[in-house]
């Protein structure tokens, strides 16, 4: 199929309906139906067959993919793990421990951001662990679920995308290495990737903004209203929010009064999850350095192993201390799984729509429409916008990088050749082009309601997906605008990268002070109390 403007209609329909109705599943199904109908020729008779194919072909195919099945299994296993450590008192133990320091909303947000940085090696593991672990704590501190989802989401992909010991690096380096091999650059893909991190403005600024907002307690836009609601009334969720979990789940998982609240019963399984996943990456990878080994590892298999081992550890702790019987353990495990079934449904539909956008050549159309007559100094900015648009429309950062990286590197080289500026030793425009495809993909993935990481962050935080998108979008737009105007634009004209970073961070903080308003703590968490603890 030739890429045309029609190819952008399915994702646009899904995004528009999700934002208008605040119902993600019907919106995704509508987008899949439209995409299937277009693939079948947009005929009258095709309306019926494409409707049946929505589930019978595209969602089934999405679930038949090995990596997708791995993600589903890991998500359900971690959901079951969360149920068990909630029922055996471990979660309450962590809440009790953390709230000794995080006794105010400000400290609670800083603790959430810090935990997000600590689990740096995989964005899925980050979102699932941080969201589920911190949710009872942030609820007690009257921090809105929208803010929790933002803190989780903005310390997941941005951190994993820039880290050298993450599940992302093998995929990214592989793409860059293949693209570099097609031009006259005398550098390896890994060397180009490392050099490109100097220009990864958006991921860095997104993380800086998280801690700036948490530290200053300033918010703006819909997030400020959500935080005001949570502080004043203790309503951490918007009334009418759609979480997809049964209302009786919390009652099923509440530990008995006699159950001791020991934080080790939660901490040890979580550490087992982290360590096993890390070891799994090393075991499935290969190479001469730790970075190469991790990069070549299988992140999905490692996450499944980690979640299973963590569940076994939780079982040993629960039975060994006689906290749960076998029946209670199974009930808690299943109750935890029920809480993430909504995630699985949305992920399946999002994957199906992403597959359709690939067949409709949505990314190719956007790339062709936006990549004509590019001036070299503006190339990083244009590539960021292009990657952001593709990731937003398709809901996948990895897919966006896979499509645009092989196009961006040769394009940057050819533009430099036309100006006689290409050098075999590398050029800032080359590095910035690699970095901005990565950064733009992360931005689009952050803002898209059909993104799998958006969905996982929302559901791990038990926040309505559309509420998460609406409240996070202004922050992503703000950090993205600063990254483009203050960071990337000067780079194209020879401004030093380190100076652009310093100015960008200064502008980001100044703008937050001007735009944001401080959301006061409630009477239980006064500034006097915070100063004294």
Q: What pLDDT sits at residue 224?
A: 95
Query: What tokens appear for 444 in the block?
Result: 């689009």
Summarised one tens digit per residue, pLDDT across range 401-415 is 877 777 778 777 777
Q: What pLDDT sits at residue 175?
A: 74
Summarised one tens digit per residue, pLDDT across range 258-272 is 888 888 998 899 889
Task: Evaluate whether residue 226 is within a structural domain.
Answer: yes
Query: What tokens appear for 313 in the block?
Result: 């550890």
Q: What pLDDT sits at residue 514?
A: 94
- In order of 99, 356, 390, 523, the CA distances from 327 in angstroms are 31, 43, 48, 42
Q: Which residues contact 239 (CB under 8 A, 6 or more apart)?
A: none
Task: Evaluate whether residue 286 is within a structural domain.
Answer: yes
Exposed/middle/buried for residue 41 (C-beta within 10 Å: 0-12, 13-18, 19+): exposed
Distance separating alpha carbons of residues 390 and 410, to the nearest angstrom: 19
Query: Higher-confidence residue: 125 or 183?
Result: 183
The answer, yes or no, to whether residue 75 has pLDDT greater than 70, is: yes
Q: What pLDDT sits at residue 460?
A: 84
- In order of 12, 78, 253, 255, the CA distances from 329 in angstroms are 44, 14, 10, 11
Q: Which range, 21-25, 147-151, 159-163, 289-293, has the best average confidence (pLDDT)?
A: 147-151
Task: Evaluate whether residue 523 is within a structural domain.
Answer: no
- Domains in the chain: how many in total? 1
Summarised one tens digit per residue, pLDDT across range 416-435 is 776 666 565 557 888 898 99
Whether the CB-CB separation of 200 and 439 falls below 8 Å is answered with yes
Q: What pLDDT sits at residue 145?
A: 95
Sign of the C-alpha dihedral, residues 371, 373, 379, 382?
A: negative
Whether the CB-CB separation of 187 and 425 falls below 8 Å is answered with yes
How many CA within 13 A on the CB side of residue 396?
A: 21
> Residues 465-487: what's their mean pLDDT?
94
Distance separating alpha carbons of residues 148 and 391, to the nearest angstrom: 23
> Residues 87-116: what's their mean pLDDT?
83
Task: Evaluate whether residue 38 is within a structural domain.
Answer: yes
Task: Evaluate whether residue 532 is within a structural domain.
Answer: no
Task: Evaluate whether residue 526 is within a structural domain.
Answer: no
Summarised one tens digit per residue, pLDDT across range 503-516 is 999 999 999 999 99
pLDDT-based confidence at residue 532 (cuts at 50, 70, 90) = very low
Query: What tokens appear for 70 in the block?
Result: 């791995």
Q: What pLDDT sits at residue 247?
A: 42
Distance separating alpha carbons of residues 362 and 10, to the nearest angstrom: 9
**Phi and psi at residue 164, in whole multiples of 5°?**
-90, -15
Summarised one tens digit per residue, pLDDT across range 520-531 is 776 444 443 343
Average pLDDT, the chain: 82
Q: Which range, 159-163, 166-170, 339-343, 468-472, has the best average confidence (pLDDT)?
A: 468-472
Distance separating alpha carbons of residues 284 and 304, to the nearest angstrom: 13
Q: What pLDDT sits at residue 533?
A: 36
Distance separating alpha carbons of residues 346 and 36, to the nearest angstrom: 18
Q: Where are the alpha helices (DSSP H) in 321-340?
A: 326-338
The answer, yes or no, to whether residue 299 has pLDDT greater than 80, is: no
Residue 518, beta-bridge partner list: 218
Give helix then strand counts, H and E, for the chain: 29, 2
Distance separating alpha carbons of residues 283 and 295, to the nearest angstrom: 11
Distance separating alpha carbons of residues 356 and 364, to the nearest angstrom: 13
Q: What pLDDT sits at residue 198?
A: 92
The answer, yes or no, to whether residue 228 has pLDDT greater than 90, is: yes
Q: Which residues contact 44 (CB under 8 A, 6 or more apart)?
A: none
Distance separating alpha carbons of residues 111 and 7, to the nearest angstrom: 43
- For the chain, the first-to-last Cα distance in angstroms comes to 64
Task: Evaluate whether residue 290 is within a structural domain.
Answer: yes
Whether the CB-CB separation of 453 and 347 falls below 8 Å is answered with no
Q: What pLDDT sits at residue 250?
A: 57
Query: What tokens appear for 85 in the block?
Result: 């450590």
Instruction: Determine which helix (DSSP H) or strand (DSSP E) holds 480, and give its type and residue range.
Output: helix 465-482
| 219 three-class SS | strand
**Phi and psi at residue 218, in whole multiples of 5°?**
-100, 135
Summarised one tens digit per residue, pLDDT across range 385-396 is 888 988 888 777
For tokens 């990481």, the residue is 453
Whether the CB-CB separation of 85 and 314 falls below 8 Å is answered with yes
Query: What tokens appear for 81 in the block?
Result: 């793990």
> Residues 123-138: what's their mean pLDDT?
82
Distance separating alpha carbons of residues 46 and 124, to the nearest angstrom: 37
SS (H, E, C) 346-408: HHHHHHHHHHHHHHCCHHHHHHHHHCCCCCHHHHHHHHHHHHHHHHHHHCCHHHHHHHHHHHH
> Residues 189-214: what's their mean pLDDT?
91
Nearest C-alpha neighbor of 270 from the set 81, 135, 131, 117? 81
For tokens 């590892």, the residue is 297
SS (H, E, C) 244-272: CCCCCHHHHHCCCCCCCCCCHHHHHHHHH
Distance separating alpha carbons of residues 358 and 11, to the nearest angstrom: 11
Query: Higher-confidence residue: 213 or 102?
Result: 213
Task: Evaluate whether residue 303 is within a structural domain.
Answer: yes
Q: What pLDDT sits at residue 524?
A: 46
Q: What pLDDT sits at residue 121?
A: 64
SS (H, E, C) 481-514: HHHHHHHHHHHHCCCCHHHHHHHHHHHHHHHHHH
Which range of residues forms the domain containing residue 259? 5-518
Query: What tokens appear for 55 in the block?
Result: 């589930």
Whether the CB-CB separation of 345 and 242 falls below 8 Å is answered with no
| 424 three-class SS | coil
Q: What pLDDT sits at residue 504?
A: 96
Instruction: Determine which helix (DSSP H) or strand (DSSP E) holds 518, and give its type and residue range.
Output: strand 517-518
The answer, yes or no, to whether residue 486 has pLDDT greater than 90, is: yes
> Residues 46-65: what's their mean pLDDT?
89
Q: What pLDDT sits at residue 312?
A: 95
The answer, yes or no, to whether residue 292 has pLDDT greater than 80, is: no
């Amino acid at each position: 199929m030739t890429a045309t403007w029609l190819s952008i209609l399915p994702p646009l329909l899904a995004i528009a309906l999700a934002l208008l109705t605040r119902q993600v599943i019907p919106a995704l199904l509508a987008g899949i139906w439209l995409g299937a109908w277009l693939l079948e020729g947009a005929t009258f008779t095709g309306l019926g067959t494409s409707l049946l194919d929505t589930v019978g072909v595209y969602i089934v195919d999405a679930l038949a993919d090995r990596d997708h099945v791995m993600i589903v299994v890991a998500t359900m296993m971690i959901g079951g793990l969360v149920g068990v450590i909630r029922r055996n008192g471990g979660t309450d133990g962590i809440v009790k421990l953390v709230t000794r320091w995080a006794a105010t909303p400000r400290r609670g947000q800083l603790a959430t951001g810090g935990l997000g940085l600590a689990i740096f090696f995989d964005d899925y593991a980050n979102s699932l662990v941080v969201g589920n672990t911190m949710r009872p704590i942030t609820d007690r501190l009257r921090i809105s679920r929208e803010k929790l989802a933002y803190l989780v989401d903005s310390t997941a992909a941005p951190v994993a995308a820039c880290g050298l010991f993450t599940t992302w690096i093998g995929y990214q380096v592989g793409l860059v290495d293949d693209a570099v091999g097609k031009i006259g650059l005398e550098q390896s893909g890994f060397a180009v990737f490392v050099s490109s991190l100097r220009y990864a403005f958006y991921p860095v600024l997104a993380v800086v903004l998280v801690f700036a907002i948490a530290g200053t307690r300033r918010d703006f836009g819909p997030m400020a209203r959500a935080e005001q609601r949570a502080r004043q009334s203790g309503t951490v969720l918007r009334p009418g929010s759609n979480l997809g979990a049964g209302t009786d789940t919390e009652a099923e998982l509440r530990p008995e009064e006699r159950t001791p609240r020991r934080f080790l019963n939660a901490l040890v399984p979580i550490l087992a999850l982290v360590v096993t996943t890390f070891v799994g990456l090393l075991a499935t990878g290969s190479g001469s350095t730790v970075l190469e080994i991790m990069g070549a590892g299988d992140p999905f298999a490692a996450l499944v192993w980690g979640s299973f081992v963590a569940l076994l550890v939780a079982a040993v702790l629960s039975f060994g201390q006689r906290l749960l019987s076998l029946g209670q353990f199974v009930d808690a495990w299943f109750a935890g799984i029920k809480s993430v079934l909504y995630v699985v449904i949305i992920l399946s539909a999002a994957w199906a729509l992403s597959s359709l956008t690939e067949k409709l050549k949505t990314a190719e159309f956007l790339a062709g429409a936006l990549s004509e007559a590019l001036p070299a100094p503006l190339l990083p900015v244009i590539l960021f916008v292009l990657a952001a648009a593709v990731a937003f429309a398709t809901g996948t950062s990895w897919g966006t990088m896979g499509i645009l990286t092989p196009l961006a590197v040769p394009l940057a080289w050819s533009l430099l050749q036309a100006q006689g500026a290409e050098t075999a030793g590398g050029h800032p425009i080359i590095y910035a082009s690699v970095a901005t495809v990565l950064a733009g993909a992360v931005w689009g993935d952050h803002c898209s309601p059909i993104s799998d990481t958006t969905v996982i962050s929302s559901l791990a935080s038990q926040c309505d997906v559309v509420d998460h998108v609406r409240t996070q979008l202004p922050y992503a737009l703000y950090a993205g605008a600063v990254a483009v105007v203050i960071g990337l634009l000067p780079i194209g004209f020879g401004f030093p990268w380190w100076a652009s970073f310093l100015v960008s961070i200064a502008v980001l903080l100044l703008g937050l002070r001007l735009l944001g308003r401080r959301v006061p703590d409630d009477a239980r968490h006064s500034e006097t109390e915070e100063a004294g603890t």
